[in-house]
Chain A
Amino acid sequence: MHKPRLQLQASFDIAYLQYLDQQGRATQPLPDFATPDWLTYCLRQMQLARLVDDRAVKLQRTGRLGTYPSTLGQEAIGVATGNALMAEDIYCPYYRETGALLERGVEIEEILAIWGGDERGQNFEHARKDLPICVPIATQMLHAAGVAFALRHRHQQRGEPLQVAVASSGEGATSKGDFYEAMNLAGVWKLPMVFVVNNNQWAISVPRTAQTATQTIAQKAIAAGMPALQVDGNDIVAVAWAVRDAMMRARCGDGPALIEALSYRLCDHTTADDASRYRSAEELEQAWQWEPIRRLETYLRNQNLWSDANQQDMERELAQTMEAALNNWESRAPEPSTAIFDHLYAQLPEGLYEQYDQLRDEQAGVERQ
């Protein structure tokens, strides 16, 4: 059969980054930002995220919280990403982001409120312009593209420094049109934007291998004309370097980038899920070998930067922080039921007064009984 002569038109490659290996050994000199203080701070934040997740799951099990999506095993991605943003940057999270939300200044009690069925949790006291956590898959990526456009518009109109929008997602979200459409627009409009994909290997019960035939998730960005990097997502130094580098590019007006952070979902999809239905105990046990917290702790101990005493002090301090947040959350008065009308529109249309009054009277009746 005739084989035509073809010419190479374009070629691409995907690089991988790791600083700390599974045993907590440095595979190369660490970047300057990874000071002892920064590393111990990250260790604290990852442990805090794990504690919040652990308590939230227990609260759900005892009927005090609704469905909750833990980030167990993926703490490095969230903490490193949230830590890389400046205050004025805008974070556009998906729903599995405890570590990043804490870094953005979202309160533990706000996270609990969201999953405890109370919209007030999304009314972040800090990070006022960050988007709320997004439940529909991948839609936040298009919102982030719009945010990035607005940030650049403001930069152009008012001469303010260029700020960056950061969108996070899981790897399942990279199968959706929203993901491709957001990347395509970010690429062609050169938006100041970073995509961080938490490839935790599972989209509820569907494994990464059933999600896409691509060799990496990162290479999907190539089709949109943007640089991409795959990193060890359980190595907080690698994630931090990648996000910081991508943000610096975006901040300089060089456009968007994508980071695929390889990790593993050590927990169920949510508290409503039972992962033992679809994945083996052996696989889970294997994945625990490369989880991010022990890796960083081992590195710090080997460098004589961390001790049992340090660990005990931290655990005590984190427990106090958690208790205080729980108390704040539980002591907050419930919202009046008429709140469901209060923020529907800037001003409630007159046609809804009757329904508002009906609900108010109905509730007054309930309270009298």
Chain B
Amino acid sequence: MSEHAKAGEQSSPITLVEAVTQALAYELKHDPDVVVFGQDIGANGGVFRATDGLQSSFGTDRVLDTPLAENMIAGIAVGMATQGMKPVAEFQFMGFIYPGLDHILSHAARMRNRTRGRLSCPIVYRAPYGGGIHAPEHHSESTEAMFAHIPGLRVVVPSSPARAYGLLLAAIRDPDPVLFLEPKRIYRAARQPVPDNGEALPLDSAFVLREGRDLTLVAWGASIKETLAAAERLATQGIEAEVIDPATLKPLDIHSIIDSLEKTRRCVVIHEAARFGGLGAEIAAQIQEYAFDLLDAPVQRVTGYDTVMPYYQLETAYLPGVERILAGARVALDYARQSGREGRK
């Protein structure tokens, strides 16, 4: 997929978090069934200002501060959605979703199936996620794999302002529950013109962020930043890496990754989350199931460690940086199968 921002010359560049606000405002304006709620999202505009100005524009009936109970936020969204509303609920940080997991897993993701289509849950659960902003404990985790494991749920992670806008519109319009994880480390990392045209992006297609013939790098969220930097470094060595952002972790567009492997035959998956049972394992498993013969090297995983996410003094050591990605890329590039195929230089 190419991005739709081509027509954006006339709009001024905005950040990822501003693109989130822009998408919420667009849907609030165009769909009377949309309500936005969470902790401190009203007058305060959310702790990251993702809902800045929405309450004054759309009123306290549609943009609501809730009492402080994450489980409650998750649960009332289910009830609202069954009656035809489109709740967009904010959790202040991903690390605080877990009290509401029961409602997401046991109800939102199952309501359509349980009632054989009689009721459904078109909910968006939004949460800032990931590390790297020197936050206190529980503010930096990446546990997207836990949620991607849940049948009936969608998991979406944007990595640019344009994708945040288009994917959030799609998530709100989708008839099923979506966990929308916003990589807070890059909330304000870059600006990009994002025309407020209400155009959604598909929820089942990966994005090719950089084309290349030698190696496929798969990453999402804030890790895209280091992955693109690593691709730049590889380019200086004459190695052209293709960078793919799946963006919708569930359902996963494995086809785009395999299409890339047709060219490159080598793959590295990068994520902040712990390695064991992470999305990298799923992607590697699907690649070997569907494209074993394409591979010239085992799929490499460059990830956070299987440790507790550290307090911020050590978080940089934990997070996969450019050097760790390059090391993983080097293993994939140098690998030579016994069959005699040679590794690339």
Q: Which residues of A contact B (CB under 8 A)?
A: 90, 92, 119-120, 122-124, 128-129, 131-132, 136, 139, 142-151, 153-154, 156-157, 165, 177-178, 181-182, 184-185, 188, 339-340, 342-346, 349-352
Contact = CB atoms under 8 A, between A and B. Distances in A.
Interface string B147-161: 000011010000000
A142 B76 contact: yes
25 contacts: A90-B83, A120-B116, A122-B114, A122-B115, A124-B118, A132-B118, A136-B107, A139-B103, A139-B107, A142-B74, A143-B82, A145-B76, A146-B76, A147-B82, A149-B76, A149-B79, A149-B85, A150-B82, A153-B85, A157-B32, A178-B75, A181-B69, A181-B72, A343-B116, A345-B152
Nearest to B61: A156
A345 B150 CA distance: 12
A184 B61 contact: no
Contact of B83 (A123, A129, A142): A129
Contact of B71 (A132, A181, A344): A181
A92 B61 CA distance: 23
A119 B76 contact: no
B204 A349 contact: yes
Given A142-B103, A157-B32, A346-B112, A165 B79 contact: yes
B261 interface: no
Contact of A145 (B79, B106, B107, B204): B79
A91 to B, nearest CB: 12
Contacts of B340: none
Interface in B74-103: 74-85, 87, 99, 102-103
A190 B152 CA distance: 32
A351 B254 contact: yes
Given A143-B75, A146-B77, A351 B113 contact: no
Contacts of A132: 111, 114-115, 118-119
A188 B83 CA distance: 21
Given A184-B69, A345-B176, A350-B204, 7 more contacts: A132-B114, A132-B115, A132-B119, A143-B76, A150-B84, A185-B69, A345-B154
Contact of A346 (B103, B107, B120): B120
B98 to A, nearest CB: 13
A343 B112 contact: yes
B251 interface: yes
Nearest to A146: B79
A123 B120 CA distance: 12
Of B66, B82, B154, B252, the most chain A CB neighbours within 10 A belong to B82
Which range holds the interface residue count of chain B? 35 or more
Nearest to B87: A146
Given A129-B82, A143-B107, A344 B116 contact: no
Given A142-B103, A182-B75, A350-B204, A149 B117 contact: no
B113 A343 contact: yes
B114 to A, nearest CB: 5
Residue from B78, B118, B176 having most chain A Cβ neighbours under 10 A: B118
Contact of A349 (B74, B82, B84, B251): B251
Contact of B80 (A129, A150, A343): A150
Contacts of A178: 71-72, 75
A136 B75 CA distance: 12
B117 A123 contact: yes
Given A142-B78, A178-B75, A185-B72, A151 B83 contact: yes
B151 A344 contact: yes
B50 interface: no
Contacts of B106: 136, 139
B35 interface: yes
Contacts of A340: 113
A132 B77 CA distance: 16
B112 A142 contact: no
Contacts of A165: 79
Contacts of A156: 61
Interface in B174-207: 174-176, 204
Contacts of A344: 112-113, 151-152
Contacts of A136: 102, 106-107
Contacts of B174: 346
Nearest to A186: B76
A343 to B, nearest CB: 5
Contacts of A90: 83
B238 interface: no
Contacts of A92: 79
Contacts of A343: 112-113, 115-117
B81 A123 contact: no
Nearest to A180: B69
Contact of A142 (B79, B151, B152, B154): B79
A157 to B, nearest CB: 6
A128 B79 CA distance: 14
A170 B269 CA distance: 49
B58 to A, nearest CB: 13
B136 interface: no
A150 B103 CA distance: 18
